[in-house]
Structure 1
Amino acid sequence: MKNRPDPIEAAFQFIEKYFPNCQGAILAGSVVRGEATETSDLDIVIFDKVLSSFRVSLIEFGWNIELFAHNLSSYQFFFESDCKEARPCMPRMISEGKTLKDTGVLSKIRKEAKNLLEQGPEEWSKEIIDMKRYFITDALDDLIGCQKRGERIFIANKLGELVSEFILRSNRKWIGSSKWVVRSLVHHDKEVANEFVDAFDTFYKTNDIDKIVILTEQVLKPFGGRLFEGFSLGEK
């Protein structure tokens, strides 16, 4: 992060320049968690008297900034939609972020965010679990049967998404995308996360799928294993 001002100082300057009268402001993301890299940006959430929520990407004070603006009720829609998808991006930012400004509104909002995170996502029904088992089985069979390296790569990508989702959601844990796949797995179980990464890393390096097959079958086993015969969707 050479030639850039301190992230917290830059965030304060940004708020003072553009939203000096806002009701609340929070700095979130990797810079707050101590995980910033050369390409990290500043995730800033403000609460102000705006008509509706909006998001803006810009560059100020040497930093790429992602601005999320809300009024004192609009954020609740994003809390609900994030939790419905089991990816609590906004609740996590609010709960973990550093306060830049607060006129007394953040305590209630932070409490809402923390409660949602602690509750975890909605429990999967048996019907959903069976549906997910079927699609994982289908992707695993495709991976085993495929001999074309290019196709195999993208089948493995899809299977990785499905398996990581299954591990987390079947345990009522939050999921993530991109780098948050691994972070979410680590938060749930470091040993499982290491097995997951090792299985797919081995495949990408050597084209050997054995560890992926073993991992997938271990994940499905407590729920009945692979599922193909007898599965139906929408049949009455």
Structure 2
Amino acid sequence: MIPKLEPIVAAKTFVTTRFPHCRAALLAGSVVRGEATETSDLDIVIFDDTLVSSFRESFIESGWRIELFAHNLTSYRTFFEQDCRRAIPSLPRMVAEGMVMKDTDVIENIKREARALLDSGPEAWADETIEMKRYFLTDVLDDLIGCTSRAEGLFIASALAALVCEFILRTNRQWMGSSKWTYRALDRYDTHAARELVAALERYYQTNEPDALIRYVDETLSPFGGRLFAGFSRGKSNET
């Protein structure tokens, strides 16, 4: 078994071995935040002006799983923009929080760009988008209310949780996340709302009782007009 090096040592060894001529390198992720678990990997971002385009690659070295995110000195901006459009700022967050492993006077400007994007928040939802999301939430909520299959209900509740988290965060111009970051994003914005949602989900999963989850979604939708079905329309021509 390959001995596991200390994370910073492993990261520096990886960068020195694989990208000795890169302009900058960052170690990001749970290790840097002090949240590492037994299954955590090393997220390494490098900036190399000899690269034609960005790429991502996975390795196992020095006893660690390593996720590499490689960019040249301009290609990262495309990913910044893509992440911001979907409101899940993975790369900007890694860059902003990342620990510098190597720098040739380029990383501070890139970090400044990342911090500015994070501070500005995602673009506000248009009224049409809010209406559409209300409709989607109503549709899934109705599925839960009418559900008679325990197996189906588990998946419906999971989908409902993701949708209601998205609705809360985006209507308040907050960044989102995926998987575990969905909860983390909600908890960062509103700890009480996050804990209430978890309690409602736990109640449903343990007792098959959906009332708390239904009430949570209804309370979330209430300031925006509540559930929406009748009158919702998309793509209809105005021509007569």
Q: Which residue of 1 aligns with 2:28?
A: 28
Partners of 1:61 and 1:103 lie apart in 2 by 25
Partners of 1:19 and 1:44 lie apart in 2 by 11
Contact 2:83 2:91 in 1 (8 A): yes
**Cα deviation per residue 1:173-192 (whole Å; 9 max; x = unaligned)?**
01111000110001101111
Farther-moved stretch of structure 1 (151-160 vs 41-50): 151-160
Farther-moved stretch of structure 1 (29-38 vs 196-205): 196-205
Residue 160 of structure 1 deviates from its aligned partner by: 1.0
Partners of 2:117 and 2:84 lie apart in 1 by 8
Secondary structure class of the residue paired with 1:121:
coil
Residue 4 of structure 1 deviates from its aligned partner by: 2.0
Partners of 2:32 and 2:214 lie apart in 1 by 38
Partners of 1:20 and 1:171 lie apart in 2 by 43
State the percentage of identical aligned residues: 57
Partners of 2:229 and 2:156 lie apart in 1 by 18
Q: Which runs of 5+ in 1 are unaligned?
A: none
Partners of 2:12 and 2:132 lie apart in 1 by 48
Residue 3 of structure 1 deviates from its aligned partner by: 5.0
Partners of 1:202 and 1:100 lie apart in 2 by 45
Q: Which residue of 2 aligns with 1:203?
A: 204
Secondary structure class of the residue paired with 2:26:
strand
Alignment of 1:1-40 (within 5 A): 4-40=4-40
Partners of 1:81 and 1:65 lie apart in 2 by 23
Q: Which residue of 1 aligns with 2:95?
A: 94
Contact 2:3 2:62 in 1 (8 A): no
Secondary structure class of the residue paired with 1:80:
helix
Partners of 2:153 and 2:27 lie apart in 1 by 40
Q: Which residue of 2 aligns with 1:130?
A: 131
Secondary structure class of the residue paired with 2:22:
coil
Residue 81 of structure 1 deviates from its aligned partner by: 0.3
Partners of 1:59 and 1:3 lie apart in 2 by 12
Alignment of 1:98-113 (within 5 A): 98-113=99-114
Q: Which residue of 1 aligns with 2:41?
A: 41
Secondary structure class of the residue paired with 1:141:
helix
Q: Which amino acid aligns with 1:129?
A: I
Q: Which residue of 1 aligns with 2:168?
A: 167
Residue 61 of structure 1 deviates from its aligned partner by: 0.4
Contact 2:12 2:101 in 1 (8 A): yes
Secondary structure class of the residue paired with 1:230:
coil
Partners of 1:198 and 1:105 lie apart in 2 by 46
**Cα deviation per residue 1:151-190 (whole Å; 9 max; x = unaligned)?**
1111111111110100000000011110001100011011
TM-score, structure 1 as length reference: 0.98
Q: Which amino acid aligns with 2:24?
A: G
TM-score, structure 2 as length reference: 0.96
Contact 2:26 2:46 in 1 (8 A): yes
Alignment root-mean-square deviation, CA: 1.1
Runs of 4+ aligned residues of structure 1 deviating over 2 Å after TM superposition are: none
Q: Which runs of 5+ in 2 are unaligned?
A: none
